[in-house]
């Protein structure tokens, strides 16, 4: 039985972490003897999520540059040097056969050191517009797995493999989970349900827009499952108190996302790469509100990849407070449009990304 040693590096958001865990799971499923070590950034959410998924992780002291002038930025060069030094130590001790970068702060130092030491590396780019780290690393890695067509404008064409984004396996075959989902969220099967997901940290504009439009749900007998993120959880819980018995539920974080997707008739979401990939796989009519607070406005580019194929509706963040509930109302009344979005988004779904990427990782080892 093959016993490979693999380092997977990156993180910072759920959009980087969950695909990384999906790749690790696919490798372990095919080659149970594989030893996998994660390398993340100290203090970031991967330091909690990765051990919860059953894997070891080591943190680097790496931090990103703040967009505004701040004293924190003075520490960046020192943190980078410390991270490069620690990455070298990790690689020498673990002796990986291959390294995988999934984007985020930690993948930069780790892959830079690994490729310099002659260890084959694979990049997994989730977005339709890559971040700076992956653009820099692209020159040194052997393989780049992407989720969108047309990525040869950013990366060397001969290294690119179109795989889609790995997503959690439990969101496949949702129809069998609908009844359990209704029970889990205490919902009425005869009513329509809207799911709000603002990403793992929540989304202020979406939260404020939904908060301002709660009457719409109550007056139209539409149920709401609202993931607020922890920063808005108290405010949302306070706001929905007066709608008790109306099927309006808030929570900081949804652990059973498979149940949430299973009960949803329409989804309102940010346009992070992972969210978009999950919406494609779950075939949900969706309204996307891209976050403006991300590098190179890549969420708008992710959203437009769907909108251009009539597979989702776009509401700009700046317009959300005036337009989001109006667009939702139009979509809820238009079942023909819901069906069209469902069919078109299903066409874009790439269903076996984690296994395809795992196979590419093994190819690099055997090469």
Annotated binding site for UDP-N-acetyl-alpha-D-glucosamine: 13-15, 127, 168, 200, 254, 273-278, 299
Find, among 228, 240, 224, the residue nearest to 200 by Cα.
228
3 state SS of 207? helix
Q: Which two tokens stand for residue 285?
A: 């009519």
Is the torsion defined by CA of 309, 312, 315, 316 positive or negative?
negative
Specify whether the CB–CB gap between 122 and 19 falls below 8 A: no
Whole-angstrom Cα distance, residue 171 to residue 305? Answer: 22
| Pairwise CA distance, residues 6 & 329, whole Å | 48
Q: In this structure, what token pair is assigned to residue 205?
A: 């504009």
DSSP code string of 18-51: HHHHHHHHHHHHH-TT-EEEEEEETTSTHHHHHH
Per the annotation, binding residues are 13-15, 127, 168, 200, 254, 273-278, 299
**Which tokens go with 197?**
């997901």
């Amino acid at each position: 039985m093959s016993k490979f040693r693999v380092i997977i590096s990156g993180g910072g958001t759920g959009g980087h972490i969950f695909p990384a865990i999906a790749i690790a799971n696919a490798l372990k499923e095919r080659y149970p003897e594989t030893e996998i070590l994660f390398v993340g950034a100290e203090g970031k959410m991967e330091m909690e999520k990765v051990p919860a998924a059953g894997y070891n992780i080591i943190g680097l002291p790496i931090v990103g540059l703040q967009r505004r002038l701040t004293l924190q930025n003075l520490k960046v060069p020192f943190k980078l040097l410390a991270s490069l030094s620690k990455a070298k130590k990790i690689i020498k001790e673990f002796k990986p056969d291959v390294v995988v970068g999934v984007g985020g702060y930690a993948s930069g130092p780790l892959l830079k050191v690994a490729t310099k030491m002659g260890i084959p590396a694979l990049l997994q780019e989730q977005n339709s517009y890559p971040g700076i780290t992956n653009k820099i690393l692209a020159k040194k890695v052997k393989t780049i797995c992407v989720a969108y067509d047309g990525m040869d404008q950013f990366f060397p064409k001969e290294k690119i493999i179109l795989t889609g984004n790995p997503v959690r396996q439990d969101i496949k075959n949702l129809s069998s989970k609908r009844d359990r989902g209704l029970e889990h969220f205490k919902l009425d099967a005869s009513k329509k349900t809207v799911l709000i997901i603002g990403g793992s940290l929540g989304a202020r504009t979406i939260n404020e827009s939904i908060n301002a439009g709660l009457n719409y749900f109550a007056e139209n007998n539409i149920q709401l499952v609202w993931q607020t993120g922890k920063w808005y959880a108290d405010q949302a819980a306070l706001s929905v108190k007066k709608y008790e018995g109306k099927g309006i539920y808030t929570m900081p974080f949804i652990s059973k996302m498979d149940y949430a997707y299973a009960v949803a008739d329409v989804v309102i979401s940010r346009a992070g790469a992972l969210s978009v990939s999950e919406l494609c796989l779950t075939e949900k009519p969706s309204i996307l509100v891209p976050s403006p607070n991300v590098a190179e406005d890549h969420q708008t580019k992710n959203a437009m990849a769907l909108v251009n194929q009539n597979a989702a509706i776009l509401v700009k963040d700046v317009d959300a407070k005036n337009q989001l509930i109006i667009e939702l109302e139009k979509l809820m009344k238009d079942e023909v449009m819901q069906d069209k979005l469902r069919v078109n988004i299903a066409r874009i779904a790439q269903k076996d990304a984690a296994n395809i990427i795992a196979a590419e990782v093994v190819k690099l080892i055997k090469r």
